Amino acid sequence: MMNKTNNIIFFYSFFALGFALVLEYGFGLLPCRLCTFQRIPYLIIILIFLFQLFLKPSNKSITILIFLCLLAEMVFSVNHSLLSLGIINSSGCESAVTLPSGVESLKNALQNNTLIIDCENANKKILGLHLSSYNALASLGFLILIIKNAIIKK
């Protein structure tokens, strides 16, 4: 059985992915490429949780995998935040192409994955912080919690 910290991280991952999908499909906030990359570690954490329900691997190996996913999430989020703030420049968050004018051209753009949204338009702010900054802070907090628990167990 997963420990309490891993369970909290699983539920947060489920919430974060759900929140991103609601923003995208419920409110029409299209993600940039980096927004999409930030979803991958959360998806992997959810898959790890489901995997452990059926196969019962060691709690230590699950925690290590979750730690690595959170570390990747933090790297993606910090990079995305720094790009959104204009502190660094990278090709990871291209400028948006011309938005399609008709329904058929929009459908084609979505099917061919040619509709790219830039970070400034995709990485919205809530209470003065970009969404990617919240991801970075949450990942950092969970990483600290995992390290703290590992130190206490020794």
DSSP string for residues in 34-72: HHHHHHHHHHHHHHHHHHHHHH---HHHHHHHHHHHHHH
**What amino acid occupies position 102?**
G
Tens-place pLDDT, residues 21-49: 888 888 877 777 788 888 889 899 899 88
110: pLDDT confidence band, cut at 50, 70 and 90?
A: low
pLDDT at residue 88 tops 60: yes
Which one is predicted more confidently, 5 or 18?
A: 18
Half-sphere exposure of 144 (CA within 13 A, CB side): 6
Most confident of 22-36, 97-111, 116-130: 22-36
pLDDT at residue 95 tops 50: no
pTM confidence score: 0.74
Structural domains for the chain: 4-153 (1.20.1550.10)
pLDDT, average across residues 112-116: 62
Residue % of the chain over a pLDDT of 70: 79
114: pLDDT confidence band, cut at 50, 70 and 90?
A: low
Residue % of the chain over a pLDDT of 90: 1
